[in-house]
């Protein structure tokens, strides 16, 4: 029996047929195919429309349950066994810690376990241990060493202040004392595998041998080559991650379907199938709906497929959907992270740990709707309000319940009703790719297996599963399952029908089976025709353009990257920026673009600009005078920044909102003027754009709609700007631009 493996990136480009003595396997979680023969290994992957071979550097690793960790170790013995034990060991330690509040281990071992969790990316679990240890455990040199290591990985930890106090206190007994750590050699790894009986889940009635699991993890990590990080981490990882790490085919899961028998087919090892080469056809405009495409070939007629034609492949359908809602052309979006924005019963605490809970509520947001409206914003985007243990909500534990800390169901209804009264629409964050590890669906999947486990993407039930960004607390749902898709559509519809939300901002759309988006959009439009489905997707033009007909809108992360590089970091010149902008205009027909330069996953623009508010005003002027749906991240308009680089923990970009005297009033006034100007200028919202002139220091472009013409000038050298209308007035220099513009009342 021979094996065949498909390889492609959006469509199957080639099939690899195993010869005698060869084995085929995927690098788990990637589209990289590994061909092994007589101890030699060759790797292949689809990058764009080409099949390339060679060594593939997987993207930086953030999290714990990942076979990719082991893949980075050269010449590792029994790689599959190491992968399986690694995944199990992380879960065993983390789950024991969650259940007990402390580790089931002696005082000589508990710090070692916490260090292992830190090394594996489980900083939250390690932080919980050190908080507990400082209250209940005997202080000694080993604990001080563990705290010091923890603060290297989690430099905004809430225990830093206590550590500094203890470090400077009296007594040599608190001097840091390092434990004996496993050496970085393969012999130690072989020895650990030979002692695998100690790595079972339970060794006796007292529970697992947690120290054995920790030493195994540290042995693995000692052998992993160091990965370099960067200041603008969000963007530095995206393109590579799009093409290699998370490159599930847009039209189906060709890379994760396993191997298929090829019978006695004698063909060569690699064959590029001519009948699967990418082709382009022109389709006449049609009414909204789904259409199958029949193609006539020399060998007969067939239904066109953009997916794997082997069993388990996915049928192609042309989606001729209605255009995005017209109101998106007038939209200005304000993003709020509820926990960090405002309370209704007092001020938020002063900034401490960036991962702590600060107590923001939905009623607190409601109390400040006038502030949001003053910026010209007519759309409010709330990051997840589902039941969650965290400040961010992307590890939600119930698709249908509002987090009680935020005020529960009634508070969300009050907020949406109040927003609608002001002519403001509301988008709710929706996370269909994954859940939190505490979600009742995942708890059932682990405990029951069977049909319950089919909701998730287990490599090996119950401990080895796919997770978002390789973070073990975020298990991925199997969105290729019709059952899962129906559940998720019901959940999204619930927020529209029960609360009156006007759309959903969908997290990590690239991870979700593409067929889901067509069904979601269709079902939501059935209950609210003007609903918006906005997706978070990253990648190149050709990749993102494929979401037309599946989503109404996408975030323009290319724009964010270029604005930050040009105006904050000054690494891209204005001439190059203008050339990019010209090429970028009208790049995504059929999709509305949400433009931004700040959000909750990246370092704040103001911090990147070294605190220079002139650069921020310049970028804000650009944002509010270009086509698209501008998105203002809470606090950007009042000078909210951060204390240090968020590459280790991106929650640093989510510090509490500034209110009162802490706000930069001059900066706020600038953003308010921009909002009023955009609201009163149809040309800025809906007009065409053309570059008039550009040099190293200045960029001038016009926006035109009918008889209205607006000329925008930006000077990078002096951080100055002007927005001049047809009468020659500098509209940003006027104080008579009043109102917040077109009434956006849903209805």
Residue 263's pLDDT band, with cuts at 50, 70 and 90, is very low
Record the tokens describing residue 678, joined without a space: 């955009």
What's the pLDDT tens digit per position in 358-386? 999 999 999 999 999 999 999 999 999 99
Residue 300 — very low, low, confident or very high, per pLDDT cuts 50/70/90?
low
**529 contacts: CB under 8 Å, gap ≥ 6:** none
Q: For the stretch 228-259, what's the b/e string if a residue is b when 16 or more beta carbons lie within 10 angstroms of its beta carbon? A: eeeebbbbbbbbbbbbbbbbbbbbbbbbbbeb
Q: At what angle do helices 141-153 and 110-119 cross, to 10 degrees?
A: 10
Domain with CATH 3.90.400.10 in the chain: 434-478
Q: Is the pLDDT of residue 270 over 50?
A: no
> For residues 205 and 495, which has the higher predicted lDDT (pLDDT)?
495
- Per-residue model confidence (pLDDT) at position 11: 40
Confidence category of residue 277, pLDDT binned at 50, 70, 90? very low
User: pLDDT confidence of 181, banded at 50, 70, 90?
Assistant: confident
pLDDT classification of 276: cutoffs 50, 70, 90 = very low
The pLDDT value recorded for residue 370 is: 98
Of 179-193, 251-265, 268-282, 669-683, which range is least confident? Answer: 251-265
Which pLDDT score is estimated for 377?
A: 98
| d(C-alpha 306, C-alpha 503), whole Å | 29
**Residue 198 pLDDT exceeds 90:** no
Torsion sign over Cα 619, 620, 624, 628: positive
Question: Poorest-confidence range of 22-36, 245-259, 472-486, 658-672?
Answer: 245-259
Top mean-pLDDT range of 210-214, 241-245, 543-547, 661-665: 661-665
Regarding the domain with residue range 434-478, which homologous superfamily does it belong to in the CATH classification? Oligo-1,6-glucosidase; Domain 2 (3.90.400.10)
Dihedral sign (CA 301, 303, 305, 311): negative
334: CB partners within 8 A, 6+ apart: 372, 375, 377, 379, 380, 381, 631, 632, 634
Q: Is the pLDDT of residue 237 over 60?
A: no
Over 80: is that where the pLDDT of 430 sits? yes
- Which span out of 15-19, 40-44, 217-221, 326-330 was modeled with the highest average pLDDT? 326-330
Residue 101 has pLDDT above 60, yes or no: no
pLDDT of the residue at 633: 99
For residue 593, the model assigns a pLDDT of 96
pLDDT of residue 735 exceeding 70: no
Full-prediction pTM beyond 0.85? no
What confidence score (pLDDT) does residue 280 get? 47
pLDDT at 194: 66
The CATH 3.20.20.80 portion of the chain extends over 326-433+479-733
In this prediction, residue 318 has a pLDDT band, given cuts at 50, 70 and 90, of very low
Q: What is the pLDDT of residue 297?
A: 52
Query: Alpha carbon 669 to chain centroid distance?
Result: 32
Which residues lie across from 291 on neighbouring strands? 318
Indicate the pLDDT class of residue 465, thresholds 50, 70 and 90.
confident
Residue 426, pLDDT above cutoff 50: yes
Lowest-confidence pick of 165-169, 193-197, 627-631: 193-197
- % of residues, the chain, pLDDT over 90: 43
**What is the tens place of the pLDDT at every residue in 627-666?**
999 999 999 999 999 998 887 667 899 999 999 999 999 9
What is the structure's pLDDT at 712?
96
> Is it the case that residue 37 has pLDDT exceeding 60?
yes
How high is the pLDDT of residue 103? 60
pLDDT-based confidence at 327, cuts 50/70/90? very high
d(CA 220, CA 181): 12
pLDDT number for residue 152: 74
Asked if residue 736 has pLDDT above 90, the reply is: no
Element (H, E) at 179: none
Mean pLDDT of all residues in 707-726:
94
Of the listed ranges 217-226, 363-372, 507-516, 716-725, the one predicted with least confidence: 217-226
Residue pLDDT, tens place only, 521-540: 999 999 999 999 999 988 76
CA-angle at 350, arms to 348 and 354, nearest 5°:
95
- Given pLDDT bands bounded at 50, 70 and 90, which one contains residue 673? very high
Whether cis (ω within 30° of 0) applies to the bond prior to 5 is: no
CATH code at 326-433+479-733: 3.20.20.80
What's the start-to-end Cα distance of the chain, in Å?
Answer: 62
Q: What is the pLDDT of residue 82?
A: 80
CB count in 10 Å sphere of residue 338: 29
What integer best gives the mean pLDDT of the chain? Answer: 77
Residue 617: alpha-carbon gap to chain centroid: 27
* Confidence band, pLDDT 50/70/90 cuts, at residue 212: confident
Residues 38-69 pLDDT 10s: 767 676 655 444 555 655 433 322 333 345 56
pLDDT in the model for residue 469 = 72
């Amino acid at each position: 029996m021979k094996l065949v493996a498909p390889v492609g990136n959006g469509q199957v480009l080639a099939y690899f047929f195993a010869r005698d003595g060869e084995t085929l396997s995927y690098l788990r979680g990637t589209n990289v195919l590994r061909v092994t023969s007589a101890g030699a290994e060759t790797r292949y992957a689809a990058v764009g429309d080409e099949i390339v071979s060679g060594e593939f550097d997987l993207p930086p690793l953030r999290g714990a349950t990942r076979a990719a960790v082991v893949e980075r170790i050269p010449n590792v013995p029994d790689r599959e066994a190491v992968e399986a034990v690694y995944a199990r060991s992380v879960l065993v330690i983390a789950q024991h810690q969650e259940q007990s509040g402390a580790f089931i281990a002696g005082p000589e071992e508990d710090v070692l376990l916490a260090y292992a969790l830190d090394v594996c990316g489980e900083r939250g679990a390690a932080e919980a241990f050190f908080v507990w240890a400082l209250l209940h455990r005997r202080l000694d040199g080993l604990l001080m060493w563990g705290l010091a290591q923890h603060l290297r990985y989690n430099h905004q930890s809430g225990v830093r202040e206590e550590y500094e106090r203890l470090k400077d206190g009296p007594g040599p007994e608190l001097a840091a004392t390092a434990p004996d750590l496993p050496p970085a050699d393969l012999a130690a790894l072989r020895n650990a595998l030979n002692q695998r009986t100690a790595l079972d889940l339970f060794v006796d009635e007292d529970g697992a041998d947690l120290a054995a699991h920790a030493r195994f993890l540290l042995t693995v990590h000692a052998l992993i080559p160091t990965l370099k990080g960067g200041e603008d981490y969000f963007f530095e990882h995206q393109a590579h991650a799009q093409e290699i790490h998370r490159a599930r085919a847009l039209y189906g899961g060709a890379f994760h379907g396993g191997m298929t028998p090829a019978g006695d087919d004698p063909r060569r090892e690699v064959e590029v199938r001519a009948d699967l080469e990418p082709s382009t056809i022109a389709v006449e405009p049609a009414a909204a709906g789904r259409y199958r495409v029949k193609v006539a070939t020399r060998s007969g007629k067939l239904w066109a497929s953009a997916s794997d034609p082997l069993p388990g492949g996915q049928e192609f359908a042309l989606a001729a959907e209605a255009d995005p809602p017209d109101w998106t052309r007038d939209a200005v979006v304000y993003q709020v992270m509820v926990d960090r924005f405002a309370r209704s019963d007092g001020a938020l605490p002063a900034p401490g740990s960036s991962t702590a809970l600060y107590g923001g509520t939905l009623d607190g947001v409601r109390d400040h709707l006038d502030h949001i409206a003053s910026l010209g914003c007519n759309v409010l985007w709330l990051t997840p309000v589902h039941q969650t243990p965290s400040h961010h909500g992307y590890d939600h534990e119930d698709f249908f319940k509002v987090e009680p800390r935020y005020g529960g169901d009634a508070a969300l209804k009050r907020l949406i009703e109040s927003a609608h009264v002001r002519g403001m629409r509301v988008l709710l964050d929706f996370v269909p790719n994954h859940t939190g590890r505490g979600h009742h669906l995942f708890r059932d999947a682990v405990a029951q297996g069977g049909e319950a486990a089919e909701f998730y993407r287990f490599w090996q039930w119950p401990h080895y599963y796919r997770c978002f960004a390789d973070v073990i607390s975020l298990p991925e749902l199997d969105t290729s399952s019709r059952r899962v898709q129906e559940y998720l559509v019901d959940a999204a519809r619930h927020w529209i029908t029960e609360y009156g939300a006007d759309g959903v901002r969908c997290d990590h759309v690239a991870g979700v089976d593409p067929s889901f988006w067509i069904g979601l959009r269709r079902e939501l439009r059935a209950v609210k025709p003007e609903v918006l489905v906005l997706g978070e997707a990253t990648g190149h033009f050709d990749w993102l353009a494929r979401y037309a007909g599946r989503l109404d809108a996408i975030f323009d992360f290319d724009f964010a990257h270029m604005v930050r590089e040009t105006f904050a970091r000054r690494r891209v010149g204005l001439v190059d920026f203008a050339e990019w902008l010209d090429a970028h205009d009208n790049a995504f027909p059929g999709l509305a673009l949400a433009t931004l330069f700040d959000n909750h996953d990246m370092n704040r623009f103001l911090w990147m600009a070294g605190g220079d508010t002139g650069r921020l005003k310049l970028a804000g002027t650009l944002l509010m005078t270009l086509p698209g749906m501008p998105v203002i991240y809470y606090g950007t308009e009042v000078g909210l920044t951060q204390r240090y680089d968020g590459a280790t923990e991106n929650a640093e970009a989510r510090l509490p909102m500034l209110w009162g005297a802490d706000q930069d009033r001059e900066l706020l006034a600038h953003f308010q003027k921009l909002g009023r100007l955009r609201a009163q200028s149809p040309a800025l919202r809906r007009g065409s754009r053309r570059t008039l002139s550009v040099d190293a220091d200045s960029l001038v472009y016009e926006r035109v709609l009918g008889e209205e013409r607006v000329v925008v000038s930006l000077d990078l050298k002096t951080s100055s700007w002007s927005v001049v209308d047809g009468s020659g007035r500098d509209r940003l220099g006027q104080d008579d631009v009043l109102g917040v513009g077109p009434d956006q009342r849903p209805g």
